[in-house]
Amino acid sequence: MSTSLHLASHLPSSVPSMTLAAHAAEPWIPQLQSISTQVAQDGAVELDSATRKEGAALARMIMVDLEHPGDLIDRIIHQPGENALIRIAIDTGLFLALTESSSPLTAEALASKINVEVTLLERILRGLAAMHAVKETGLDEYSPTKVSKAFTSAKGASMACIFGDLLSPPWSKLPQLLKATGYRNPTDPDWTAFNIAFNTKDHMWDVMGSDPELLRNFGIFMATQTVGRLNFLDFYPAKKQLIDGYESELNTGGVMFVDIGGARGEEALEFRRRHPGHPGRLILQDQADTLKQVPVSEGLEMMAHDFFTPQPICGARVYYFRRIFHDWNDALSLKILQKTAAAMAPGYSKMLINDIVMPRRGASSFATTQDLLMMSLFSSLERTEQQWRDLLQAAGLKILRIWSTQGAVESIIEAVLA
């Protein structure tokens, strides 16, 4: 079967807008079951990212259209409970025990493995089975599913922890913040939903930096959050746009790529992996505490740097930012841009911004929830194309091109000195 499956081709055109009475719903069930089987079979091979996202979006739309409004309310309102069950399954080792077992486990056997009271575990397992996070293979017998396996990964475990402990609570306080501001767009980084949720005047980065466990999980989260997504090098032609134009005489430090605020340097290392013969040095810049957690990698230099201060590497070929500016309002983002622009060589240096470019219409659920998360944490935002153009112009930069592709979460904004 082709890996370019488009689910829409299997559905009557009336499905997206259908409202089915109970007596009319039954004929659709075999068709939906057939589609589910086909998707499961195709899922065994590598579907392209665009197909996966298109199919998942259509499936969500069908689910909403099929649900009674009362059921829809119940499902949405109870989603935090499902997140809590996922976290419990990670903390107890439940998912890991099921995944490592060569055969299904009874609740009693699993309770013994992970040291959880069996009565409590049975309640947890029933909830997980209802959300397809585990599979009921018999009475009080369970096996792992795609969901449970996903959350044994570094990405799944770290995200569940960092969101549960740090990032999700501010979401619940966002309505309170907006009501208090008279429903004005938040722009003050010193008064956020995060401050309300944690009853603190400190910035999120300061809170996280004071907690080694949060900092550790955040580092893993940043290193793995792109798993399942396209890398920018999948659609940005780095050799043509960057490597072919490298000129050592214009680059006094001999630097090809500066990964600014790059956490563990995954993007710089991926650049080196795909272009092993590239000229010039690779430099990772971040806060000193962050860099202490970064393993030493041959060919990657580490430099402690605060991007609100002047950029010490002058004349590099590329200054790269990934998911940095959505953490900061326009005034603070402008300061970061200006400090970097001052180090760029006219007609040579490029700035690459790997970030969401929010569409004015048809934005994805991921993009819009990220926007609300930035609002909750920092009183910042995910920007539209025009907002990006205005911001970069104010910093003395101009956009050469915005690169993206179907199925990509982020885009690459390629800019130079104006």
User: Which residue in the list 6, 10, 78, 326 is annotated as catalytic?
Assistant: 326
Q: Is residue 259 helix, strand or coil? A: strand
Contact 326/263 with Cβ under 8 angstroms? no
Amino acid at site 149: K
Contact 359/402 with Cβ under 8 angstroms? no
Contact 135/149 with Cβ under 8 angstroms? no
Q: How many Å apart are CA 255 and CA 283, to the nearest integer? A: 8
Is 326 known to be catalytic? Answer: yes
Contact 375/381 with Cβ under 8 angstroms? yes
Phi-psi sector, 199: left (phi>0), alpha (psi -120 to 50), beta = left
Phi, psi of 235 (to 5 degrees): -130, -10
DSSP codes joined into one string, 95-142? HHHHHH-SS-EEHHHHHHHHT--HHHHHHHHHHHHHTTSEEEEETTEE
Please list the active-site residues: 326
